[in-house]
Structure 1
Amino acid sequence: MEFGTLERQVHVEASPEVVFEVVSRPEHIREWWSDDASLDAVAPGAVGELVWRDGVDSQVESFTVVDVDPPRRFSFRWVTSEGETAKEGNSLLVTFDLEPSATGTTLRLTETGFREKGWEVAVLEEAYRDHERGWDLFLPRLVAHAATVAA
């Protein structure tokens, strides 16, 4: 396995406009992904934070919005070293592509940049597998939350 590009596709029973809001707005992100989320603005270059809490510990991950094309695409860079500005080569790029379907939206998630981080093979493989497990857990939550928003 190359551990270079992670791809997932799900069907969401909601319009692309609703799904775009669910993947790009902190008040919705908190419902399906992280325990807390903040974002300056839904615009390229905007920065935000995702927070996951585990008992007394918290994991905080900064992200930078890359592309905003409502209701078709939302992308951001994350997983940078502390103090670094997210850019190609030092971060992962997550892209949500949204396409209308007969009964809702097809959401295609792509996460790239694993190899470009320069991690040793064991670290690369573990990071890739960790993100696989994460998206496999969180995407069904996204689908369920979007359906409630649409209703």
Structure 2
Amino acid sequence: MQHHEHLAGAELGSIERELYIDATPDVVYEVISDPRHVTEWWPDGATYEAVAGSEGSISFGDCSQGGKLVGFAVVEALPPRSFSFRWTQEPGEAARRGNSLLVTFELEPSGDGTLVRFRETGFREMGWEAAVLEATYLDHANGWEHFLPRLVSYSESVGSRA
């Protein structure tokens, strides 16, 4: 019987990444917060305003063809330093600890570019059983491995046009 290495409990608490982007914090902030930019590197659709307290939704794929629509609520919007939001709650449901995941982007000037600290937390508060927690965590970790490099390259292309 094959032995599967289970992730240590602590590791399922948050996903954290550091990215260096060759673009200014002003440009990067726009790209991570403005729905028109966000849809260029992450969801297919985004309906919200980039201000604290705004509630909306983002979508992946065509919702009439089995795509997914999830709630999106801006928690903090402090240009060009940080942007955070809760997502994955049911659309129309108020986002809170326990029904949504919290994503935070912190931006710091670094040379001519920007150091971005990305963090997604809230997995352990969702009340999922271990197998669901692990599967969802891995699904998100894999998802960000795909989308964050797109954030870097798209920000750099926007920055070079600025």
> What are the superposed Cα offsets for residues 85-141 of structure 1, whole Å, 9 maximum, x if unpaired?
111222110000001001300111101110000000000001100110010000000
State the SS of the aligned residue for 1:125: helix
User: Identity percentage over the alignment?
Assistant: 49
Max radius of gyration: which structure? 2
State the SS of the aligned residue for 1:44: coil
Structure 1 Cα separation of the partners of residues 135 and 81 of structure 2:
31
- 1:101 has 2:114 as partner: no
State the SS of the aligned residue for 2:67: strand
- 1:51 has 2:52 as partner: no
Q: How far off is 1:57 after superposition?
A: 2.0
Paired residue total: 150
Task: For structure 1, list consecutive stretches of 5 or more residues without a partner in the other structure.
Answer: none
Q: How far off is 1:43 after superposition?
A: 1.1
> What are the superposed Cα offsets for residues 6-43 of structure 1, whole Å, 9 maximum, x if unpaired?
1011110100010000000011111100111121x211
> Superposed, which structure 2 residues align to 1:6-85 within 5 Å?
6-39=15-48, 41-53=49-61, 56-81=65-90, 84-85=93-94
Task: For structure 2, list consecutive stretches of 5 or more residues without a partner in the other structure.
Answer: 1-7
State the SS of the aligned residue for 1:42: coil
Letter of the structure 2 residue corresponding to residue 52 of structure 1 = F
> What are the superposed Cα offsets for residues 58-90 of structure 1, whole Å, 9 maximum, x if unpaired?
111111000111000000011124553111222
CA RMSD across the alignment: 1.4
- 1:126 has 2:135 as partner: yes
- 1:136 has 2:152 as partner: no
Structure 2 Cα separation of the partners of residues 62 and 96 of structure 1:
18
More strand by share: 1
TM-score by length of 2: 0.88
Letter of the structure 1 residue corresponding to residue 28 of structure 2 = V
State the SS of the aligned residue for 1:90: coil
TM-score by length of 1: 0.94
Letter of the structure 1 residue corresponding to residue 44 of structure 2 = D
Distance 1:84 1:98, change over 3 A: same
